[in-house]
């Protein structure tokens, strides 16, 4: 009777190690590794669209602070660098699984035309950085007449 | 400017997740950029936690949707799961049932 009770009250069985308990509790994540083989955990990183007058780029930067995001525009180049640090674990916490990446990322993109760097706008919502870059007007072709030489 | 539009079709992505354990339970942290609380849904059924998050991001003419399923032990107190979405990062707190928590016993003597 007592043994039975111990079995159903797993926690009170003195012969079980904490590790066993962890394993049982984390039946939760047994399937994770199997799941990982099925798909690569990810999300789209960059979307770039070109309109008639502007380029719009969307970058996924979840958990990044806008203070740690740098945007540079030169001629027809765009460079975005951002950094997010791995949050420190509180006392008693430990990682069981780690898929998210941390550290510095840099994205450099060459655009097909020059952009008006002074009018570039950026906003950051829900972990998506959206940069709108108006194009510089391209010079129109000039027709040059040849004057007849007398 | 791309106007975020709702498309009837979805393209599914499995977002990366971190799993952190502490004395009181489990913390799940997922990167789901572009998702907001309106499009977020989660339910627990037959020991599985299913998370879905819709976004307005367009990929291949379809809306990006995040989907991921986690197996949960019955030691998780499903009634008290808490979720927080901030800056594209979803943090789920799954507390253990009181009877599943490890209690330290001091030996006197």
CB–CB contact B96 A25 (8 Å):
yes
Residue from the list A31, A63, A92 with its beta carbon closest to the beta carbon of B22: A92
The tens place of each residue's pLDDT in chain A, 150 residues long, gives 343 443 444 444 455 555 555 555 555 555 554 444 444 556 778 889 899 899 999 999 999 988 889 999 888 889 999 998 888 888 888 999 888 888 888 888 899 888 898 899 999 999 999 999 999 887 778 888 898 877
Q: What is the model's pLDDT at position A56? A: 93
DSSP class of A90? P
CB–CB contact B1 A51 (8 Å):
yes
Give the residue from B3, B12, B20, B67 with the most A CB atoms within 10 Å of its CB, the best one to mutate. B20
Q: Give pLDDT < 50 ranges for chain B.
A: 1-2
The nearest alpha carbon in chain B to A32 belongs to B70
Instruction: Report the mean per-residue pLDDT for chain B.
Output: 86
Q: Which residue has the tokens 């990982």?
A: A36
What's the gap in Å between the CA of A58 and the closest CA on chain B? 9
What's the gap in Å between the CA of B34 and the closest CA on chain A? 5
Question: Which ipTM did the prediction report?
Answer: 0.78
Give the residue from B28, B57, B63, B87 with the most A CB atoms within 10 Å of its CB, the best one to mutate. B87
How many whole angstroms separate alpha carbon A93 and alpha carbon B26? Answer: 9
Backbone phi, psi, residue A84, to 5°: -135, 140
B64 at the A interface (CB within 8 A)?
Answer: yes
Within 10 angstroms of residue A34's Cβ, the number of other Cβ atoms is: 9
Residues 6+ apart with CB under 8 A from A104: A81, A82, A83
Q: Answer yes or no: are the C-beta atoms of A76 and A113 closer than 8 Å.
A: yes
CB–CB contact B17 A22 (8 Å):
no
Residue from the list A30, A63, A95 with its beta carbon closest to the beta carbon of B87: A63
CB pairs under 8 A between A and B: 139
Domains along chain A with CATH numbers: 1-41 (no CATH), 43-87+99-136 (2.60.40.790)
Residue from the list A28, A44, A97 with its beta carbon closest to the beta carbon of B57: A44
How many whole angstroms separate alpha carbon B28 and alpha carbon B71? Answer: 12
Domains along chain B with CATH numbers: 10-16+23-99 (2.60.40.790)
User: Strands A77-84 and A69-74, how do they pair?
Assistant: antiparallel
């Amino acid at each position: 009777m007592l043994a039975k009770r111990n079995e159903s009250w797993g926690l009170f069985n003195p012969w079980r190690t904490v590790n066993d308990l962890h394993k049982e509790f984390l039946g939760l994540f047994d399937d994770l590794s199997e799941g990982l083989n099925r798909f690569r955990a990810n999300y789209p990183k960059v979307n770039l669209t070109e309109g008639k007058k502007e380029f719009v780029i969307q970058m996924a930067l979840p958990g990044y602070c806008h203070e740690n995001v740098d945007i540079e525009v030169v001629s027809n180049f765009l460079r975005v660098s951002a950094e997010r640090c791995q949050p420190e674990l509180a006392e008693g916490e430990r990682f069981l699984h780690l898929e998210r990446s941390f550290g510095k990322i840099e994205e450099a993109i060459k655009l097909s035309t020059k952009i008006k760097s002074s009018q570039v706008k950026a906003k950051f919502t829900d972990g998506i950085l959206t940069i709108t870059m108006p194009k510089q007007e391209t010079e129109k072709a000039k027709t040059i007449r040849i004057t007849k030489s007398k | 400017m791309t106007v975020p539009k709702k498309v009837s079709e979805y393209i599914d992505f499995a977002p990366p997740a971190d799993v952190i354990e502490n004395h009181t339970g489990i913390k799940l942290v997922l990167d789901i950029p572009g998702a907001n609380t309106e499009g977020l849904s989660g339910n627990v059924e037959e020991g599985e936690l299913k998370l879905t998050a819709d976004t307005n991001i367009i990929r291949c003419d379809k809306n990006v949707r995040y989907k991921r399923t986690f197996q949960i032990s019955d030691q998780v107190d499903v009634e008290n799961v808490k979720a927080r979405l901030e800056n594209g990062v979803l943090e789920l707190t799954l507390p253990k049932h009181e009877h599943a928590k490890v209690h330290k016993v001091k030996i006197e003597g």
